Structure 1
Amino acid sequence: MALRNPFSIFGSFRSLHLTQQCLRTVHTESKRSRSKPAPVPTPFVPNVETFLKLIGRDMSKHASKFPSWDKLFSMSSTELRDAGIESAEQRRYLIRKRSRFTKGWYGPGGDLEHVVDGAAQLRVMEVPFKAPATNTEVRDSTIVDLLNHSATLTPGMRRVIVNLPPDAIEYKHDPSKQLKRFKGMKIHNSVYIAGPYLQPIAGTNGSAAIIRVEEGMWEDKLGHKVDGGERRRAEVRAKRRAEERRKERA
């Protein structure tokens, strides 16, 4: 008896082959990710507890499940589940935030160098200004800011944001070192320092501020569903109107 569709069996074998190939690829990628060395802790993120506190979503309660920094960045999703992180959503979130940190994609404060007990100071200071040599340097935002507010500057100087220990007052500029830009931090009106989670220091007129490790500073906020979400919104609102009309007639 002839098959109705002799090609269907070959299609099934081909589908099975592709599925097995995909599984092998996923398994290989998983092994590669686990074999990568853990990133080096930063002054702002020195340990497991601080990392979990920064990424929020109540991940701090799982700190005891990670005996070391290397373990935090090497455990697979299955190992995380076996360790007691039962929510798949939380496991995916942790793995995503681990990957970003490994790539150097820090949140506010992650790129600071002078941190003491989870706190660091950012201050607007004047440093010697070297005239730009190329048109590319002229387009630099720092130089544009300098040109726009040159009347408020000391001649031959420019304003930059520097990172100091929390109790430091003086800053000694080293011309041999390249000045660093800190994510999310900027100079407002050529005088004030602006950025997320900054706490101005009294008596500095807004030119200096402290940033401290806080719960959820790097958290990816979840969206808020209104009336059941986009798909069910019309249905939910229609039911509500019908219920209101029923109550009015009663």
Structure 2
Amino acid sequence: MITRQPQTTSFLFTSLLRPSTSISQSYVCTPCRRSLHRGLPEDGRVPRPTPFVPDVPTFFKLIGREMSKHANKIESWEELFTATSQKLKEKGVDPPRTRRYLLRWREKFRKGDYGIGGDLQYVQDGVAELRLVEIPSLKKDPVTGEPLSGTVSIGQSPGMQKLIVNVPNGSSTYALQPGQTTADLKKPSGFKLKNGYIITGKQAHPIKGTYGSGVTLKAVEGLWEHKRGHKVHGGERRRAQTLHKLRVEENKKNAR
């Protein structure tokens, strides 16, 4: 038996096909965030490798999630930052969540949002050294207003300002570069001081004989990895249903 659909349904469908004249013609639909890696144009800018991340295999090793097995599918640094999601799929970077993870870290690196160690300048064979240095209080020139340069020493002297600095491997002193002042020294991100002299941070290993005032950082597998979460009681959408079933089963056991 064939029945006629209500006229209201036909009207609603027609109204969707013919937008109202009151809607501005310049209206643009906002795309879903999960589809950003498909249709929107990419930045296309290829950032320079850093001393801590000099090549593609190191980048894949740092971001973790077993991405190292896909490193041989990317031929160059330029291809890593210019390949589209479809191109990565053709090269065998699967499943889709793996490509989304790679694209997210690629954009973070493009914007200079590195993980720990990404901003270090002195790196040798994937290993960097950080030392606790002491500098005098930074004072400004009364005439020019520029910060005055001062000496930098590695030690533990009272009355000095302590700062974590990336130094050349095996160096016991730190020399300021031409035109550099003590005001230009910045603490590497991801590290902090404990008890005033112990450098702490992810994968920071103390150097023998420094009592914690000197540490090494090595580019190891998963150093920048963002851990995937796990569902508890079926996740947010099924939690209430799962807990209800558990209560029912428990009540049955108690009733016996």
Shift of 1:222: 1.6
Say whether residues 1:189 and 2:195 are aligned partners: yes
- Residue 153 of structure 1 deviates from its aligned partner by 3.6
Matched-pair contact (CA < 8 Å) for 2:62–2:225: yes
Q: How many residues align?
A: 226
How does 1:1-250 map onto structure 2 within 5 Å? 9=14, 11-14=16-19, 30-33=40-43, 36-131=44-139, 153-155=157-159, 157-174=160-177, 176-177=179-180, 178-244=184-250
Higher relative contact order (CA 8 A, sep 6+): 1
> For residues 105 and 37 of structure 2, what CA distance do their matches in structure 1 show?
21
- Tell me the CA shift for residue 247 of structure 1: 5.9
Partners of 1:133 and 1:189 in 2: CA distance: 32
Structure 1 stretch displaced more, 172-181 or 81-90: 172-181
Give the drift of 1:248.
6.7
Give 1:140's aligned residue.
none
Q: Is the 8 A contact 1:127 1:173 kept in 2?
A: no
Q: Is the 8 A contact 2:197 2:212 kept in 1?
A: yes
Give CA-to-partner distance per residue, 1:183-233, whole Å, 9 cap, x none. 122233332212222111121111010011111111122222111112212
**Letter of the structure 2 residue corresponding to residue 47 of structure 1:** D
The alpha carbon displacement at 1:20 in A equals: 9.6
Tell me the distance in 1 between the aligned counterparts of 2:246 and 2:11: 55
One-letter code of the match for 1:194? T
Assess if the C-alpha contact under 8 Å between 2:37 and 2:85 holds in 1. no
Displacement of 1:249: 6.9
Which runs of 5 or more residues in structure 2 are unaligned? Answer: 1-6, 146-155
Cα shift readout 1:108-163 (whole Å, capped 9, x = no counterpart): 000000001111001001123333579xx9xxxxxxxxxxxxxx7445x4221111
Listed one character per residue, the Cα deviations across residues 82-110 of structure 1 (whole Å, up to 9, x for unaligned) are 11113111111111110000000001000
Q: Secondary structure at the match of 1:182?
A: coil
Q: Cα RMSD over matched residues?
A: 3.3
1:210 aligned partner, one-letter code: T
Matched to 2:17, the amino acid is S
Ranges in structure 1 where 5+ consecutive residues have no aligned partner: 138-151
Separation in structure 2 between the aligned mates of residue 83 and residue 195 of structure 1, nearest angstrom: 36
Distance 1:66 1:175, change over 3 A: closer
| One-letter identity of the residue aligned with 2:66 | D
Secondary structure class of the residue paired with 2:215? strand
TM-score calculated relative to the size of structure 2: 0.75
Structure 2 letter corresponding to 1:206 = G
Query: Cα 1:77–1:18, aligned 2, differ >3 Å: closer, same or farther?
Result: farther
Sort the Cα spacing of 1:205 and 1:20 in 2 relative to 1 into closer, same or farther, 3 A. closer
Q: Please say which of residues 227-236 and 205-214 is displaced more in the overlay.
A: 227-236
Identity across aligned pairs (percent)? 42
For residue 160 of structure 1, give the secondary structure of its aligned residue in structure 2. Answer: strand
